[in-house]
Structures are given as C-alpha cells and as structure tokens.
Amino acid sequence: MDRAFSIDDLAALARRRLPRAVYDFYEGGAEDETSLRANREAFGGVRLLPRALVDVGTVDTAASLLGATVALPLGIAPMGAVGFGRRGGDVDLARAAAKAGIPYVLSTTGTASIERIGDVGGRLWFQLYPLKRRDAAVRLVERARAAGFEALVLTVDVPVGGKRERDLRNDFAMPFRYTPRNVLDFASRPAWALDMLWHGVPVLENMAGLADTAADASQMASSVGREFDPAFGWHDLDALRDAWRGKLIVKGILRAADARRAVDIGCDGVIVSNHGGRQLDAAVDSLTALPAIVAEVGHRADVMVDGGIRRGSDIVKALALGAKAVLIGRPALYGVCAQGEAGATRSIDILRDELVRTLRLCGLPAVARVTADALYEPEAIFGARHTGEAAHGTASAGAVHRE
C-alpha cells in the first residue's frame, strides 16, 4: 500500500485481487461506456491558471457543506454490493470517512445494515432509491433517522437499470451464478474465493431486511432492480420532503430546470451525476452539466458533483466551476477492495495530498478561495453562457482569464 501513489495504482491493486467479473461489475458502465469515459475526459479538458507569489505556507482544506464544516470538500458516494469486493467494506469506508472528517453515504443496496454503519458515527448520509413498496421505503427512512443519519440522498436517475454489458458477458448476478466460466474466474483469485467459501457471500443487508423470510430476502437480492419504481414523480419527492425533516439531497440531476424544481420543493442539496456512466450511456458528463445547475440553484442549495474524479486537481476544477464538494465512488472502492480500511484511508489521503499540492501550485491558500478565477478559458469548453456565475454562483465573466 505504501507504493500506491495514485488512484490508478489502487485500481491496479484491486484488479489483481478481484475476479474479473467482480472487478468489471464495479468498473464497468452502460452499453458502449461513452458516458463513463466522458466523465473522466471532461476533467482533462479543463485547465487551471496559477497565480504566482501568493503565501501558501498554510493551506486550509475545510469547506462548508449543508450548514456544517467538513475537513475536505469531499465525500464517499453511495455504492452497492461493496462487500462482494471486500467483506466488511461498507464499514471500512465509513470508518475511513469518519477519521478524515468527511461524509459517508450508505447505499440502499449496501452490504452493511443502516444500524451497523450508524454505530461507526461520523457524518452519515443514507441513499434511498424510489421503491415500489412505499412502506418499505418508509421503514428504511425511519431506520436511518433512528440510527443518527443526518441527511437523506434520493437517487432519481434509475427508473430502470442501465444495460451493463460487462455484467451480461460475465453472467454476473446477485447471488452469484456458478457457471463453469465464473467458477474458473473465482478460482483465479484464491484469497478472495476462500473468504467467500468460508464466510459466505455477503447479502444486501438493507434490501434483505425488507423481506419477511430468508427466501424472500434471496429473491429480493437477485431482483433488486425490479424493486425500483419508474413511476416515482415530483409529488412523491414532495411527500418525502414532508416525511424527512433532516437534510434532503437529490442525486442524479443533469438539467438545471430539474435542479430548480427540486430546490423549490425544499431540497437542501443537489448532486450532479450521471450515475458514474452506469445508466444512460448517451447522457452528458457530470462536469459539463455542473455550471448551468450552479447558476440556477447554487445560491439556494449546495451543489455537489460526482463522476470521473481521480486527482486532487479534479476537485479544484469542480470547485472552480461552482461545486461545494465532490463525491468519489470508484476511487474509494479501489482502496477498500485492495486493503480494507487502510486502502480506503489511502485513497482519501492521496486525494487530500494532491488537493493541497494543487491549491499551493495555483496560489490558493484555502478551499474557500477557489473561484472561476482559477480557470483558463472555461467558455471554450462549457460555453460562454455558463461561465458568468461558475464559481458558487457569484463570479463574474470578467473574472475569467483568456490569456
């Protein structure tokens, strides 16, 4: 782990430890994986313009998020089935986040229960999918409230699951399908396979917890996508706002008009996201969608973004385009799959160190000082109409350099 100097290094370690089918489940996107690649490529198209001779002897990485201070403008995004890659991985991620002073978002399809994560403490958010069984959704929300979760994150971009062709080719499913091909694949990673054989395959604890019998739990885990409600609408979000009195965040927004409507209903935050490229393959990448949403609601709600973040400089770029914070999924997942809590901590440490280095190199002594002024020619990438209020909804177009 000491030789892991980048998120890509952690990805390589995870790949060496996991069967191909499991790694592909985490790594893959929808269809041709166009939006998956676009998420990463968008950051490469944004350049920063350093300011010289600024005192950056001390750099403050703290940020304000949902009315409280976090140690970094960073959170760990909700991810399902983490335990398939590392037993206890959800808990490892929550512990690493708590130690780092950043939020951790537990997924509805996590492999640790709401109560188990609640025991870890820290800044905890619970991610909820719109479920056909409204009584089941209410039970999950009530459990999250009782366990001390401070925010509810409603994911709104999964009326149906994306077509993930890596999983189809690998015949990957939950529970595992023990085809000859998969058995050989699993056997190629003996440490992983022995752990699964000895302790059993993890289950989606919160989904299984909605079932009345063990058989029902197994069926629910194997057909989790069919539990999502494609008819969930704005009136349902309004009802959820009334039912949940904590902070409410909507995740999976790419249109400024949708962000405005969510905030009008009373949402406290918006996560600009295309689900890591795992849903609509033709969708716009998250970073490109960010400036318009910031311009629309950034003065009324906290706007966050996920998808494609692999470097500390990516965090600075997102902040300069107006995000209050970024969420990471795969980078943290690589770490936890490679070496549990230590690996998760390493992923955060890498991004923290790169963030501080980037801030210093840009002449920025604090996260709070990052504005559109740090960008070089953003209108060439995102369009001039989006750059005027790019940084936290306040920067003027004249503040953007075009040297």
216/234 Cα distance (integer angstroms): 30
275 flagged as catalytic = yes
pLDDT, one tens digit per residue, over 79-91 is 999 999 999 999 9
To the question of whether residue 251 is assigned a binding role by annotation, the answer is yes
pLDDT, one tens digit per residue, over 199-220 is 998 999 998 766 554 444 444 4
Candidates 235, 275, 386, 401; catalytic one? 275
Of 354, 337, 327, 307, give the one whose Cα is nearest residue 10: 337
To the question of whether residue 79 is assigned a binding role by annotation, the answer is yes
Q: What is the pLDDT of residue 214?
A: 47
pTM here is 0.91
pLDDT, one tens digit per residue, over 288-299 is 999 999 999 999
To the question of whether residue 253 is assigned a binding role by annotation, the answer is no
The fold of 7-165+224-399 is TIM Barrel (3.20.20)
Task: Quote the DSSP letter at residue 366.
Answer: B
Q: What is the pLDDT of residue 1?
A: 73
Domain-wise residue ranges, the chain: 7-165+224-399
140/40 Cα distance (integer angstroms): 33
To the question of whether residue 83 is assigned a binding role by annotation, the answer is no
The segments of the chain whose pLDDT lies below 50 read 213-221, 385, 388-403
CA distances from 287 to 28, 322, 347, 355, 378 (A): 19, 10, 21, 18, 12
How many beta carbons lie within 10 A of that of residue 392, not counting itself?
A: 21
317/3 Cα distance (integer angstroms): 27
To the question of whether residue 129 is assigned a binding role by annotation, the answer is yes
Query: Quick one: CA dihedral 183, 185, 188, 189, positive or negative?
Result: negative
Two tokens, residue 108: 């509805």
To the question of whether residue 330 is assigned a binding role by annotation, the answer is yes
To the question of whether residue 178 is assigned a binding role by annotation, the answer is no
Q: What is the pLDDT of residue 310?
A: 99
To the question of whether residue 108 is assigned a binding role by annotation, the answer is no
- The phi, psi pair for 350, rounded to 5°, reads -60, -50
Q: What is the pLDDT of residue 384?
A: 53
How many beta carbons lie within 10 A of that of residue 68, not counting itself?
A: 11
Of 319, 335, 160, 337, give the one whose Cα is nearest residue 252: 160
